[in-house]
């Protein structure tokens, strides 16, 4: 008698399926993984405290350079270009060597910016007083580019005293201080220039008119 093969009980097949499916994670699809990750992130946002900082950092890195930085760079370039053009004007108009003209113009711009004075006004005073001759000297004892009289302005002069007034930088530094103080006391550029010249009582304002006219001529000579 041949025995019939009795198929295994359903419980046996179920056990085999359980052995093959060791856990739901082994058969998650790609979509399932993404969904699980989203759910986990939503349920526990505090597990990634670095995420906002990272996003902020990435966002900051992606931001364009603010326009103000470009404007500052452009403004600085324009200022340098103006100094160069003025240097050429001074060298040509007053027959000054390029290097000496550059020193005078740069110092006038620096001291003008430091004391809130128009650098062209400083250059105009130099033009009227000495025609850009750093060794100019008057019978009254005025020295250098801005014709500083040492005995009247000891409080504004460097420690080296009168000899320093024959050098470009000390003379312009001292002369600018005197001019600033004169304008402050006079109340206007015109009155300050008259004080600077020691002719405040001159009702014609002859000295001030000369300086301001020279300033206009310098400005008009600057190449556009």
Residue 170 makes CB contacts below 8 A (sequence gap 6+) with: 157, 158, 160, 164
pLDDT digits (tens, 9 = 90+) for 120-165: 999 999 999 999 999 999 999 999 999 999 999 999 999 888 999 9
Q: Is 143 helix (H, G, I), strand (E, B) or coil?
A: strand
Report the percent of the chain where pLDDT is more than 90.
61
Domains of the chain: 70-221 (1.10.530.10)
Residue 21 has pLDDT above 60, yes or no: no
Q: What is the pLDDT of residue 11?
A: 44
Read off the pLDDT of residues 197-221 as tens digits, 9 standing for 90 and up.
999 999 999 999 999 999 999 999 9
Per-residue pLDDT at 120: 98
Cα separation, 160 vs 2, whole angstroms:
132
Question: What does the pLDDT read at residue 224?
Answer: 79
* pLDDT tens, position by position, 83-112: 999 999 999 999 999 999 999 999 999 999
Q: Would you state the pLDDT for residue 43?
A: 45
Tell me: pLDDT of 47 over 60: no
Residue of 146 and 223 predicted with greater confidence? 146
Phi, psi of 56 (to 5 degrees): -65, -45
pLDDT at 52 over 90: no
Of 73-77, 104-108, 173-177, minimum mean pLDDT range? 73-77
The DSSP code sequence of 98-155 is HHHHHHHHHHHHHHHHHHT--HHHHHHHHHHHHTT-TT-B-TT--BTTTTB-GGG-GG
Question: Beta partners for 148?
Answer: 143
Tally the residues of the chain.
Answer: 224
Q: What is the mean pLDDT of the chain?
A: 78
d(CA 41, CA 195): 78
Average pLDDT over residues 175-186: 98
Which pLDDT score is estimated for 139?
94
pLDDT of amino acid 80: 75
Q: How confident is the model at residue 77 (pLDDT cuts 50, 70, 90)?
A: low
* pTM score, whole prediction: 0.66
């Amino acid at each position: 008698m041949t025995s019939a093969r009795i198929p295994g009980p359903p419980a046996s097949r179920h056990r085999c399926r359980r052995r093959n499916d060791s856990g739901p994670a082994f058969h998650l699809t790609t979509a399932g993984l993404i969904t699980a990750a989203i759910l986990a992130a939503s349920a526990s946002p505090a597990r990634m405290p670095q995420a906002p900082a990272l996003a902020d950092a990435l966002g900051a890195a992606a931001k364009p350079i603010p326009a103000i930085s470009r404007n500052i760079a452009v403004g600085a370039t324009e200022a340098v270009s103006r100094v160069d053009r003025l240097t050429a004007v001074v060298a040509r108009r007053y027959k000054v060597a390029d290097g000496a003209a550059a020193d005078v113009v740069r110092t006038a711009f620096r001291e003008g910016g430091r004391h809130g004075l128009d650098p062209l006004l400083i250059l105009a005073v130099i033009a009227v007083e000495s025609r850009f001759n750093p060794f100019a000297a008057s019978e009254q004892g005025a020295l250098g580019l801005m014709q500083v009289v040492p005995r009247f302005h000891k409080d504004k002069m460097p420690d080296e005293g009168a000899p320093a007034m024959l050098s470009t930088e000390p003379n312009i530094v001292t002369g600018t201080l005197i001019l600033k103080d004169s304008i402050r006391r006079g109340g206007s550029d015109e009155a300050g220039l008259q004080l600077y010249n020691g002719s405040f009582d001159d009702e014609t304002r002859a000295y001030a008119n000369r300086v301001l006219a020279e300033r206009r001529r310098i400005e008009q000579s600057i190449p556009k």
